[in-house]
């Protein structure tokens, strides 16, 4: 499963990146085979609007990680690989969406 990232407008700054995991059992694939358990890793930034209108889903196969932008802590060596694309004033503008 590809990663899921929700980028929200209200925070503007990507200073509160939250790593999350959704887990389910009995996940059926297109082939008909069933995975006993499936975990989907994703990140969220800021606060989701009650109706979900400010959520943006970013999927990729580039890094094999859910981490896309900013840092989890100030001590992290580098920001996520899409840090140049996700954030205020960038292609996925967190001040706009």
Q: 50 pLDDT exceeds 50? A: yes
Q: Looking at residue 18, what is its pLDDT?
A: 79
Query: CB within 8 A of 83, min separation 6: which ones?
Result: 14, 68, 69, 70
Domain count, the chain: 1
Domain membership of residue 42 (yes or no) is: yes
Domain membership of residue 70 (yes or no) is: yes
User: What mean pLDDT is predicted for residues 51-79?
Assistant: 80
Domain membership of residue 97 (yes or no) is: no
Percent of the chain, pLDDT > 90?
A: 21
Domain membership of residue 4 (yes or no) is: yes
As to burial, measured by CB atoms within 10 angstroms (0-12 exposed, 13-18 middle, 19+ buried), residue 26 is: exposed
Its domain, for residue 15, covers 1-92
d(CA 1, CA 6) in angstroms, rounded, equals: 16
């Amino acid at each position: 499963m590809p990663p899921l990232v929700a980028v929200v407008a209200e925070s503007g700054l990507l200073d509160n990146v939250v790593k999350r995991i959704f887990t389910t059992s009995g996940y059926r694939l297109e082939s008909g085979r069933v995975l006993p358990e499936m975990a989907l890793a994703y990140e969220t930034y800021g606060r989701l609007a009650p109706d979900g209108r400010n959520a943006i889903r970013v999927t990729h196969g580039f890094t094999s990680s859910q981490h896309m932008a900013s840092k989890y802590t100030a001590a992290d060596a580098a920001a996520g690989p899409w840090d140049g694309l996700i954030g205020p004033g960038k292609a996925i503008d967190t001040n706009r969406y």
